[in-house]
Amino acid sequence: MPRALRVAGVIAALEGTLGLVMAVVLVVREAGGHHEAAISGYGTAAWFAVMGGAVAAAGWALWNGRRWGRGIAVFANLLLLGVAWYVFTSGQLRYAVAVGVVAIAVLALLFSPAVLGWLAQPDSAANADKRGPDTR
């Protein structure tokens, strides 16, 4: 299994963990009486919990050499590029650069030649669960 896949897995797991932390922060804020007029704190927290949990699980999957984690990690980091653009247009250049650089780094790792070569091998360790037929 390529090192790039494990590094991408660690970063994706950290991204997911940050999403879960944000969910907790939103629940605590809402429970503490801070109510937004335009959004539901609990609903937004649920969204962050679902997305954060999925991305954290994808990071775990990548760390353990499971193919399914790559799609979720790619999707999440493409979304983060949009977030970086939004933050940039909001005038927060430092945050935009940080989010954008991390997202591009993960995408570069997930599309690196080593990872693509590993994914192309049908009998590689990428088939972590060999009990049934390959259902790609």
Q: Is-above-0.85 flag for pTM?
A: no
**Residue pLDDT, tens place only, 33-77:** 877 777 788 999 999 999 999 999 999 999 999 999 999 999 999
The residue ranges of every structural domain in the chain are 3-120
Please, what is the Cα angle at 97 between 69 and 68, to 5 degrees? 5
- Alpha helices by DSSP H, listed for the chain, are 3-31, 41-63, 68-89, 93-110, 113-120
CA of 61: how far to CAs of 10, 15, 57, 69, 101, in Å?
Answer: 10, 14, 6, 5, 22
Higher pLDDT, 61 or 135: 61
Q: Could you count the other beta carbons within 10 Å of the beta carbon of residue 97?
A: 13
